[in-house]
Chain A
Amino acid sequence: DTEVTQTPKHLVMGMTNKKSLKCEQHMGHRAMYWYKQKAKKPPELMFVYSYEKLSINESVPSRFSPECPNSSLLNLHLHALQPEDSALYLCASSHELQASPFFGSGTQLSVL
């Protein structure tokens, strides 16, 4: 299994909603990442988990809250988002930091 699986593929939410994005990998990777990608732009790093501990938070607003329940799962909890948060959210994993990240197909998020 060489996949990073993200659910849901599409999400529409209002500014007062609470939702979660989920990411799963079964490659035994110990580093997992959340990226945000706006249209026609490269992905921007949001969070990095290494061995289930948060190692990087790229100054992301607190309305985004990551969680790593175990070595295979990564969640991104969303609350009180703004329309400008609409984007493609990509999860990635790698064997370790500095190894080749493998990306999921992303969740296309629209905030109304």
Chain B
Amino acid sequence: AQKVTQAQTEISVVEKEDVTLDCVYETRDTTYYLFWYKQPPSGELVFLIRRNSFDEQNEISGRYSWNFQKSTSSFNFTITASQVVDSAVYFCALITSFSYDKVIFGPGTSLSVIP
């Protein structure tokens, strides 16, 4: 079975705090791709990152960083020095070689950054 779990339904932080959004995935495939998307109140799903299962290097992009650990089937997302513009729903997602035409989304984490 393929599944993505985001245990944090809602998170509130004060501006400039760091925040980590958790993502745990399940798949029996050895080839798969993990994604993070941001959905601000405007509705558009904004692509943030894609990782394939053979690349466990962590990645940093500005204030964003991602920690991919196959041993724990996790792909966590950290925002450093959060800003009000980071307020959004964040979705972790999975594509596997078995369900290559279907993005499997987690339930999402709603992040509120309070000024």
Smallest CB separation, B11 vs chain A (Å): 15
Contacting residues, chain B, for A42 (C-beta < 8 A): 91, 105-108
Chain B binding site: helix, strand, loop or mixed by DSSP? loop
**What B residues does A14 contact at CB under 8 A?**
none
Is B115 interfacial (CB-CB < 8 Å)? no
Q: In the bound complex, do residue A101 and residue B103 qualify as a contact, i.e. CB atoms below 8 Å apart? A: yes
Smallest CB–CB gap between A84 and chain B, Å?
A: 19
List the count of A-B residue pairs having beta carbons below 8 Å apart. Answer: 52
Q: Please, what's the 1-or-0 string for A79-95, where 1 marks a CB less than 8 Å from any CB in chain B? A: 00000000010101000
A88 to B103, CA, bound (A): 17
Partner among A31, A90, A108 whose Cβ is within 8 Å of the Cβ of B45: A90
- Are the C-beta atoms of A105 and B107 separated by less than 8 Å? no
A100 engages B102 (CB within 8 Å): no
Q: Are B43 and A108 in contact (CB under 8 A)?
A: yes
Question: B64 at interface (Cβ–Cβ under 8 A)?
Answer: no
Closest to B106 in A: A42
Residues on A with C-beta less than 8 A from B95 are 98
* A41-B107, A42-B106 known; A105-B47 Cβ under 8 A: no
